[in-house]
Amino acid sequence: MFVLGVDPGLTRTGYAVLSDHGHKPSLRSVGVIRTTRQDTLSERLAELYRDLSAVVSDHEPEVLALESVFVNQNLQTAMSVARASGVIILVAAERGIPMFEYTPSAVKSAVCGYGSATKEQVQHMIMRRLDLAAAPQPADAADAVAVALCHLQSARLRVAQ
């Protein structure tokens, strides 16, 4: 299975492609799509669309796993993440890629066994589970790896049922 994990954001969207063929998952690609704050909202969303579409074309994932919008104190941040998530969902829908959403606490629980794990704990577990010398940088990329790992674990549980 090839899964594309995505940590949405308007300024930075992390992505990670993991493969899993019944044994230990491996990291195939990881990165961040960046948009420029000086551009208009529509230009930034169009850039995210183009760049994520290129990632999908390059790697042909079988499934897309997306971290769901976390509503916090900052409504403006939540709105920009929601807009970016809409573009990501559109990319998956246009290509017929099944999409799954996971809350931040579900991702942390799947990766670390604890839904309130710190970013450092999540990064440490990513390194251990994928035999990496260092956590992917920036944090948005590492978060996308965690989302992909969460989906792989959840998919295994669904198959086992």
Q: Which of 4, 19, 3 is nearest to 51 (CA)?
A: 4
Task: Report d(CA 58, CA 91) in Å as an integer.
Answer: 13
Q: Is the peptide bond before 104 cis (omega within 30 degrees of 0)?
A: no
The DSSP element (H or E) to which 63 belongs, if any, is strand 63-67
State the catalytic residues: 7, 67, 140
Residue type, 134: A
